[in-house]
């Protein structure tokens, strides 16, 4: 991905004819792509840098979490038989009577603890829960930590996750990550166009130095990482504030929304008798509810969610997002232990499945350690590309001056039959991805205004010149700009 071209061509320039010979559509688009790639890279790179650093740290946090919270997450000694879930919950509630039982995650592995999740606990963020960790063999409470999200993030991962998502600035902060995701694919696509538009001999890194070597490193790494950047951009937008909302609407209209299970208990006499006020579960309920879910084929890991009220059922859902994905769910009437509704992941619409897998791969969950290592490599690649990009901008300057911008006016070289459809496509895309469309529109407006100001100043400065002289100057300027564009090739 090339941030900026050099005014010193890396290859022999093609002669520029005085009459400005007609160029191909591909050649006419290149200067425009170059200018877009340059300014997008320079202006959006700080946001991408933060996203890359925090995203790479988040990918590593899964392994760090296992070490940091090993005492809470694992048992001291694996026993012969696990105690009933009701006894484990009772032990957790005895140690932590505060708050309301919101869910239970039974021990999914032999050496793993059970998590009893409590909501409404003082000192815990209202969007989070207090996870009480219980030894499934002895009912010993091994600790309690604040937990966030459906992946069960504990304090360290929660802090990194929120920093990556919104810089700990709430909903307003989400604009930074959406801006980065909106522009990452555009910058990547522009870099690919510029790189493959160069002569093959000019793409090599060996035997080069200076700006050309930086350009070679930048382009080579960018090409190899481009597919990953496209993926991160697309999946990141699926749960962004504005583009994500538009995607949800589109999926709903296409009948591809993620289905939800019905928690209605059904028409049974005395239904809900096993649920106490506020949705809290009695000890006997959890064991029979879990047994009913197991009979429906729901294997570990699962989460048991108590009824919200006396007219609702328990919901038992699988929470494994690693491959193979386990996301089946059942609703169980607490008074009869009958399954009132079933939801199978295999029955999800195609786009719902792809969204689930995309988000899980984006967060490093889908393929476990391999997934996390790939994300770290992508994050490192993006950091290097940004640093190389800024270095090329510096190297493009003269006498230690910072790099100069790309000359404006490239859009004027694009034939109308290409420019008009391209602008229409950008307008539609900008509507659905507003943090791409709004900054792009603002850039175009500012660029046009600055160009008009420069034009008017030029007319005042050269008002006494003859029309012939102005024509010669204009031809020279166009020739210079064309030389810059060819130098980028």
* pLDDT tens by residue, 234-285: 999 998 999 999 999 999 999 999 999 999 876 544 444 444 444 444 556 8
pLDDT of residue 448: 74
Identify the DSSP state of 401: P
Say whether both 343 and 412 belong to one domain: no
Q: Which domain covers residue 279, as residue numbers?
A: 265-347
Rounded CA-CA distance 174/435 in Å is 11
Average pLDDT over residues 166-171: 93
Structure tokens at 386: 């940004």
Instruction: Kindly tell me if the per-residue pLDDT of 472 is higher than 70.
Output: no
C-alpha distances in Å from residue 317, one per residue of 72, 132, 298: 23, 19, 8
Structure tokens at 142: 């091994």
Q: Are 106 and 85 in contact (CB under 8 A)?
A: yes
pLDDT of residue 404: 61
Q: HSE, CB side, 13 Å, CA atoms: give it for residue 296.
A: 25
* pLDDT tens by residue, 74-107: 999 999 999 999 999 999 999 999 999 999 999 9
Identify the DSSP state of 268: -
pLDDT of residue 405: 63
CA 423 to chain CA centroid, nearest Å: 26
Rounded CA-CA distance 136/115 in Å is 10
* pLDDT band at 479; cut points 50, 70, 90: very low
Residue 445 falls inside a structural domain: yes
Number of domains in the chain: 3
Say whether both 201 and 269 belong to one domain: no
Q: DSSP 3-state helix, strand, coil percentages of the chain (rounded to 5)?
A: 55, 10, 35
* H-helix segments, 69-113: 70-73, 85-95
Say whether both 471 and 398 belong to one domain: yes
* pLDDT tens by residue, 357-392: 999 999 999 999 999 999 999 999 999 999 999 998
Residue 226 falls inside a structural domain: yes
Residue 357 falls inside a structural domain: no
Rounded CA-CA distance 245/238 in Å is 8
Say whether both 467 and 376 belong to one domain: yes
Structure tokens at 475: 């031809």
* pLDDT band at 10; cut points 50, 70, 90: very low
Say whether both 432 and 326 belong to one domain: no
Residue 9 falls inside a structural domain: no
Question: pTM of the predicted model, to two decimals?
Answer: 0.84
| φ, ψ (nearest 5 deg) of residue 206 | -60, 140
Among 347, 363, 380, identify where a domain stops. 347
Residue 10 falls inside a structural domain: no
pLDDT of residue 450: 75
Which CATH number fits the domain that encloses residue 130? 3.10.450.40
Which CATH number fits the domain that encloses residue 322? 3.10.450
Say whether both 328 and 377 belong to one domain: no
Average pLDDT over residues 225-231: 97
Among 103, 126, 153, identify where a domain stops. 153
Say whether both 126 and 220 belong to one domain: no
Residue 17 falls inside a structural domain: no
Say whether both 331 and 287 belong to one domain: yes
Local structure of 255: helix, strand or coil = coil
Say whether both 106 and 244 belong to one domain: no
Rounded CA-CA distance 222/210 in Å is 18
How far the first Cα of the chain sits from its last, in Å, is 13
* pLDDT tens by residue, 293-343: 999 999 999 999 999 888 999 999 999 999 999 999 999 999 999 999 999
Q: Are 232 and 274 in contact (CB under 8 A)?
A: no
Q: Are 389 and 1 in contact (CB under 8 A)?
A: yes
Residue 11 falls inside a structural domain: no
Say whether both 92 and 37 belong to one domain: no
Rg (CA), the chain: 29
C-alpha distances in Å from residue 158, one per residue of 14, 53, 321, 398: 56, 16, 18, 46
Residue 437 falls inside a structural domain: yes
C-alpha distances in Å from residue 156, one per residue of 49, 66, 69, 142, 153: 21, 11, 10, 18, 8
Say whether both 334 and 229 belong to one domain: no
Among 128, 153, 178, identify where a domain stops. 153
Say whether both 323 and 282 belong to one domain: yes
Across 43-61, b (16+ Cβ under 10 Å) vs e yields ebbebbbbbbbbbbbbbbb
Q: Are 177 and 128 in contact (CB under 8 A)?
A: no
């Amino acid at each position: 991905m090339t941030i900026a071209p050099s005014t010193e061509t890396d290859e022999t320039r093609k002669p520029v004819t005085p009459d400005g010979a007609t160029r191909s559509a591909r050649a006419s688009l290149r200067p425009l792509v170059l200018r877009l790639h340059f300014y997008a890279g320079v202006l959006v790179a700080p946001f991408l840098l933060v996203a890359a650093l925090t995203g790479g740290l988040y990918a590593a946090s899964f392994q760090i979490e296992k070490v940091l919270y090993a005492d809470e997450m694992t048992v001291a000694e694996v026993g012969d038989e696990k105690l009933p879930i009701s006894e484990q919950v009772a032990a957790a509630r005895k140690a932590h009577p505060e708050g309301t039982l919101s869910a239970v995650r039974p021990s999914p592995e032999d050496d793993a603890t059970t998590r009893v999740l409590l909501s409404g606990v003082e000192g815990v963020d209202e969007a989070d829960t207090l996870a009480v960790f219980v030894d499934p063999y002895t009912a010993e409470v091994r600790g309690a930590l604040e937990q966030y999200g459906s992946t069960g993030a504990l304090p360290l991962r929660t802090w990194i996750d929120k920093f990556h998502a919104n810089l700990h600035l709430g909903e307003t902060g989400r604009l930074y990550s959406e801006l980065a995701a909106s522009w990452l694919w555009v910058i990547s696509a522009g870099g690919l166009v510029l790189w493959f538009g160069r002569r093959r001999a000019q793409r090599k890194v060996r035997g080069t130095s200076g700006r050309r070597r930086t350009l070679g490193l930048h382009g080579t790494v960018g090409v190899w990482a481009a597919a990953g950047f496209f993926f991160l951009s697309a999946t990141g937008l699926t749960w962004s504030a504005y583009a994500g909302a538009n995607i949800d609407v589109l999926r709903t209209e296409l009948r591809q929304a993620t289905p939800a299970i019905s928690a209605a208990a059904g028409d049974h006499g005395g239904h809900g008798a096993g649920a106490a006020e506020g949705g809290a579960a009695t000890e006997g309920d959890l064991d029979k509810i879990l047994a009913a879910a197991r009979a429906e084929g729901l294997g570990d890991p699962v989460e048991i969610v108590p009824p919200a009220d006396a007219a609702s059922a328990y919901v038992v859902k699988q929470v494994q997002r690693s491959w193979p994905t386990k996301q089946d769910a059942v609703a169980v009437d607490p008074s009869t232990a009958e399954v009132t509704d079933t939801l199978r992941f295999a029955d999800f619409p195609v786009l719902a499945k792809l969204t689930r897998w995309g988000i899980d791969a984006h967060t490093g969950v889908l393929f476990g350690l391999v997934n996390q290592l790939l994300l770290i490599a992508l994050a490192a690649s993006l950091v290097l590309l940004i640093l190389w990009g800024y270095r090329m901008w510096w190297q493009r300057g003269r006498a230690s001056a910072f790099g100069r911008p790309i000359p404006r006016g490239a859009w004027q070289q694009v034939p109308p039959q290409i420019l008009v459809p391209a602008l229409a496509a950008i307008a539609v895309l900008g509507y659905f991805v507003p943090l791409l469309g709004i900054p792009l529109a603002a850039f175009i407006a500012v660029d046009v205004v600055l160009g008009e100001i420069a034009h008017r100043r030029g007319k005042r400065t050269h008002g006494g010149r003859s029309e012939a002289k102005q024509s010669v100057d204009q031809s020279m300027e166009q020739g210079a700009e064309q030389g810059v564009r060819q130098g980028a090739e």
